[in-house]
Amino acid sequence: MLGVIGFAAFKSFYRTVVHIDYHPHRSKVGLEIQDDDLNTLSATFDQNHVDRRRLDQMRVDQLEVDQLEVNSSGATLRLDCPDIKVYRNPEFDILYPSYTDALNALSEYGNEFLPSANLIDGAAKQFDDGLYAAMDVALYTGALKQQISPRDWVRCVAEKLPPKSEAKAFLAAALELAGSKITIDNSLHALKVDYIKQFEQNELSSKPIGFYTWNAELEWIWRFSKFLQTKFTDTKIPNQIVKVLRSDQKLSDAYQQLCRHANQMTNPAVCLNLSQLNLEESLGDRAAHYGVDEVAVAVFPASKGKESTLFARLFSNGIPDNAHLLSALIERILSGKVDLAPGAHSGWYDHQVYALETLLIPANGHENDKLLLTARYKKRLLEAFKSMITKRRETHARQMEGKAVTATAMAPLVGSIQPRLRVEPSATYFLRTARAYRFVLNFLESALHQDDLSNLVGLREHGDRGQPLGDELLEMQKRFYGLYLVVCDDIGMTPQFAPQENVDQEECYQLACQWLEQIKENPDLAKDTRVSIPVTYDRGKSRTRLWSTLGVRLAQLNVNYVTPPQIRIPGETAWQKVEMHECKGKRYIIAVDEWAELDCAGRRSFTRAQFRKLCEKYPTRDAIIAAVK
């Protein structure tokens, strides 16, 4: 199905129309994308703007100048990702498991490497997984001083329920999935077993995926949590639990604190929680009152994302064979029907996804007036959005459903000036990601005891990250603020911070520069990037849709001046424009993710190990898609 959507509101990104090509397997978002128009750029020269870095060993007329100052405030750059002839450059068709593998291969070809937004995000993904894993282990095992663990809360509630209450059997089943048992009446035993059996038969819920396969603790946390996300449309069992909460204020307060933790660490709930029930009102009335997506209630509800809400609305009667889920989401983001900006009740997930918006709509980024993007580069950004939102969702898998001076001109330069990028110039993505980390840090500082953030350490698959969680989270915030400042410096853009953002710009800038200098030795980039996450299940067809990243590949990024920078000898006051014939383009190689939307029979999901084994066996994109099908 081809949807043709008139589109003119987004400055210079999509000129006239957007064509969405729905395809059951390949990610073909057939957007009619055009090159930016130079006339739409409006970079303004600021004579007080000086690049932190100087040009070395240049000659002005017959005078040797050791260094020249550069002012790029009025300069603009053209970014392009050309199509590569694979038969001439076979290295560009290889899928590598990790960014480090791709970088090691790149060194064999002698090309200059530029850290891509994907690569930066890939390193951050390892921290995000470690943060979420550490918080889950601490919360569910009772290691946090200010919060009762969900397992202990369930046990306390279960013990207060009447002996033959059906809710007691339900909670006993949850505890058994967590490796804990309580004594229940014999009449409830068969019901408890049936609850567990039904849960086990649903692989999409019962099978741990992502980092939840790292150890036994995380596995039972997944199963326990997913079971308690069970939605009830009949309020009999939920109301039995509500009566206990109404008789015990301490348990009620602890419950609301646990729900708030889930809402902030991921996102608001998709359905009602127990504290939102009213014994005198229907579920429909309560759902309408609280504005939740589904007329149901869960003990600990799953969180919603804007993509999940959209898919539930679009495909309420099943997913057509020719429908492409991410294409549908992208179409509605571009048309303004889906707004990624976080709301007043948004959690960390919404803030993370909002950081990706300018990959789809560059006109919304601070850097828009500085960069002229070709259609091919815009397609590269679109692919980055797909892979990065997939990785976000996989992390949250458990919880998601001066004045003018006149002077004489300088003599012509001998030599040439090239763009000097240190990272892909996705400035607004970096800034919004820093703000997303600030959001979750502020929440954790308010919700946890001070000692918890000092004592907790982020996790890895085989151990921990070796640094207090609070310290590393603050470091991540500073790193992304710093990357934003690096891009501002590289393209000659004045940083734009909100009034309440007290950013130590020099500290953050230096921290990011040091991190970039050591990027090839970064252990997080050596981690396998290939992941798969179920997005929807079509009950009528008994088929599961998955978003997947199939590996890392190399791509070419060409950067040229469209409007040249200005230069001056240090100590002088006047700036002199560089002539275009004195400018030279720069060719970079970047590492990017290969993404695909997969369709498979039944309720299926893949652990990371299973999916990576499949990718090793079928090393090409088409072969992987066919094997999953």
Q: What is the pLDDT of residues 145-179, one digit of tens each?
A: 888 999 999 999 999 999 999 999 999 999 999 99
Do 476 and 612 lie in one domain? The reply is yes
pLDDT at 61 over 90: no
In this structure, the strands spanning 63-71 and 531-538 are: unpaired
User: Would you state the structure tokens that stand for residue 118, as one six-digit string?
Assistant: 């994907």
CA angle 153, 292, 290 (to 5 degrees): 85
For tokens 């308010």, the residue is 446
**Mean pLDDT of all residues belonging to the chain:** 87
**Rounded Cα gap, residues 283 and 242, in angstroms:** 14
Do 217 and 77 lie in one domain? The reply is no
Whether the CB-CB separation of 111 and 587 falls below 8 Å is answered with yes
User: pLDDT per residue over 310-345, tens digit each?
Assistant: 888 887 778 887 788 998 999 999 989 999 999 999
**Rounded Cα gap, residues 185 and 168, in angstroms:** 9
Q: What is the mean pLDDT of residues 367-378?
A: 93
Whether the CB-CB separation of 77 and 369 falls below 8 Å is answered with no
Q: How far is CA 171 from CA 151, 155, 159, 177, 228, in A?
A: 10, 8, 10, 10, 8
Nearest by Cα to 1 from 321, 304, 284, 407: 321
Q: What SS3 class is residue 470?
A: helix
Predicted local distance difference test score (pLDDT) of residue 110 = 58
Do 466 and 614 lie in one domain? The reply is yes
Do 26 and 122 lie in one domain? The reply is yes
Q: What SS3 class is residue 240?
A: helix
Do 120 and 152 lie in one domain? The reply is no
**Rounded Cα gap, residues 296 and 43, in angstroms:** 52
pLDDT at 402 over 70: no
Do 256 and 366 lie in one domain? The reply is no
User: Would you state the structure tokens that stand for residue 397, as one six-digit string?
Assistant: 């898998």
Q: How confident is the model at residue 582 (pLDDT cuts 50, 70, 90)?
A: confident
Q: How confident is the model at residue 480 (pLDDT cuts 50, 70, 90)?
A: very high
Q: How confident is the model at residue 24 (pLDDT cuts 50, 70, 90)?
A: very low
Nearest by Cα to 549 from 616, 612, 604, 461: 612
User: pLDDT per residue over 591-628, tens digit each?
Assistant: 999 999 999 999 989 999 999 999 999 988 889 999 98
**Rounded Cα gap, residues 60 and 40, in angstroms:** 33
Do 303 and 318 lie in one domain? The reply is no
Q: What is the mean pLDDT of residues 103-126?
A: 86
Do 299 and 249 lie in one domain? The reply is yes
Do 9 and 104 lie in one domain? The reply is yes
Whether the CB-CB separation of 42 and 369 falls below 8 Å is answered with yes
Handedness of CA 578, 565, 507, 353 (dihedral sign): negative
Q: What is the mean pLDDT of residues 99-122?
A: 86
CB count in 10 Å sphere of residue 367: 23
What is the DSSP code string of 399-417?
TB-------PPPPPEES-B
Predicted local distance difference test score (pLDDT) of residue 5 = 34
Q: Which of 275, 309, 343 is the last residue of a domain?
A: 309
Do 327 and 458 lie in one domain? The reply is yes
**Rounded Cα gap, residues 28 and 364, in angstroms:** 24
pTM here is: 0.88
Instruction: State how many domains the chain has.
Output: 2
pLDDT at 31 over 60: no
- Lowest mean per-residue pLDDT among 72-76, 308-312, 358-362: 308-312
Give me the phi and psi of 254, to 5 degrees please: -65, -40
Do 95 and 168 lie in one domain? The reply is no
Q: How confident is the model at residue 67 (pLDDT cuts 50, 70, 90)?
A: confident
Predicted local distance difference test score (pLDDT) of residue 233 = 93
User: pLDDT per residue over 338-359, tens digit each?
Assistant: 999 999 999 999 999 999 999 9
Instruction: Provide the residue range defining the domain that includes 242.
Output: 139-309
Q: What SS3 class is residue 116?
A: coil
**Rounded Cα gap, residues 617 and 613, in angstroms:** 6
For tokens 């060194």, the residue is 107
**Rounded Cα gap, residues 23 and 9, in angstroms:** 27
pLDDT at 22 over 50: no
In this structure, the strands spanning 463-468 and 457-460 are: antiparallel
Whether the CB-CB separation of 444 and 468 falls below 8 Å is answered with no
Say what angle helices 216-228 and 150-160 make with each other, to 10 degrees. Answer: 50
Q: Which of 288, 309, 330 is the last residue of a domain?
A: 309
**Rounded Cα gap, residues 579 and 414, in angstroms:** 11
Q: Which of 281, 309, 337 is the last residue of a domain?
A: 309
Predicted local distance difference test score (pLDDT) of residue 111 = 65
Do 336 and 320 lie in one domain? The reply is yes
Whether the CB-CB separation of 532 and 611 falls below 8 Å is answered with yes
Helix (H), strand (E), coil (C) string for 40-75: HCCCCCCCCCCCCCCEEEEEECCEEEEEEEEECCCC
Handedness of CA 623, 625, 333, 433 (dihedral sign): negative
Whether the CB-CB separation of 84 and 104 falls below 8 Å is answered with no
